[in-house]
């Protein structure tokens, strides 16, 4: 699988790169970023995937996330994909919360979205295979995290693939798309009106249906304007408690939905993942 290097910069004793490749799943070119800490020749490092939120690309966390020092300290590769397919031939929507920049990490089944909006298959299958071919990753040691829509993606991806991911965390995730306007718009638009088919893309529903991970960590700001209507963190806390799913859900006083919040707790999340990935 071909890979083009868009940029490569020295940072924190490692290399921050941006890469582009043709995707069979989305039918478009896709861009993603990878930070690789310095390491011994031949070494394979654990990997932490980061899924971004609505309107974002790989660049938001790469430029604002402040993860590199912690990743260099713990010897963890950090990979940030884009949030959706892009290009002139890709359908779009007038709203920021649907279409380009809002792939919701699902495989769309409704037209005109089904041809290109296959972010689940891209994240779960195609991109990991490409990364394994081109980077010094130990695919037996994978963790996943994300923010907002990407927090939804991280939680649901890990819950569907518990044998693949040793650790999962999230910043201000959409915990139940079945019960919020963003989720209802996205899942209805991409998948159709059968709400039963939405459950595999809803962290609370997956836990209710028996999915489990060893542990999960969530940080949520109390001053987040999306908390009550869209993110609905108490639903996840209740689902985990009812199912006996281990979870650390921290309400961080005064923090909002921005990267000021994410960057404050990013090093803690990297360290939390590293402890599990290096065990």
Q: Which residues are catalytic?
A: 148, 224, 257
Rounded to a whole number, what is the distance in angstroms from the first to the last CA of the chain?
A: 31
Q: Within 10 A of 204 (CB to CB), how many other CB atoms are there?
A: 25
Is 140 within 8 Å of 68 (Cβ atoms)? no
Find, among 120, 119, 98, 115, the residue nearest to 186 by Cα. 98
In angstroms and rounded to an integer, the radius of gyration of the C-alpha atoms of the chain is 17
Element (H, E) at 4: strand 4-11
Supply φ then ψ for residue 26, to 5 degrees. -95, -15
In sequence order, what are the residues at sequence separation of 6 or more whose Cβ sits closer than 8 angstroms to the Cβ of residue 240?
207, 216, 246, 247, 249
Question: How many angstroms separate the CA atoms of 134 and 143, rounded?
Answer: 19
210: left (phi over 0), alpha (psi -120 to 50) or beta: left
Give, in degrees to the nearest 5, the angle at Cα 260 between 84 and 122. 20
**DSSP annotation of 107:** B
């Amino acid at each position: 699988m071909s890979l083009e290097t868009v940029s490569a910069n020295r940072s924190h004793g490692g290399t921050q790169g941006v890469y582009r490749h043709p995707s069979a799943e989305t039918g478009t070119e896709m861009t993603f970023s990878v930070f690789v800490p310095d390491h011994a020749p031949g070494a394979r490092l654990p990997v932490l995937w980061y899924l971004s939120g609505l309107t974002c690309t790989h660049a938001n966390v790469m430029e604002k996330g402040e993860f590199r020092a912690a990743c260099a300290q713990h010897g963890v590769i950090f990979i940030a994909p884009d949030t959706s397919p892009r290009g002139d031939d890709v359908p779009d929507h007038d709203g920021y919360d649907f279409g380009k920049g809002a792939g919701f990490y699902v495989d769309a089944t409704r037209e005109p979205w089904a041809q290109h909006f296959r972010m689940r298959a891209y994240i779960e299958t195609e991109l990991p295979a490409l990364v394994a071919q081109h980077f010094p990753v130990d695919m037996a040691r994978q963790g996943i995290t994300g923010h907002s829509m990407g927090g939804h993606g991280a939680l649901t991806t890990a819950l569907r693939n518990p044998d693949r991911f040793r650790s999962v965390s999230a910043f201000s995730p959409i915990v139940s798309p079945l019960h919020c306007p963003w989720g209802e718009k996205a899942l209805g638009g991409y998948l159709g009106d059968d709400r039963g088919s939405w459950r595999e893309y809803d962290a609370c529903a997956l836990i209710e249906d028996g999915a489990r991970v060893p542990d999960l960590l969530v940080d949520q700001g109390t001053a987040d304007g999306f908390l009550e209507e869209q993110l609905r963190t108490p639903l996840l806390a209740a689902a985990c408690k009812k199912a006996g799913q281990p979870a650390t859900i921290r309400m961080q006083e005064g923090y909002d939905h921005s990267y000021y919040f994410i960057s404050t707790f990013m090093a803690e999340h990297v360290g939390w993942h590293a402890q599990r990935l290096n065990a």
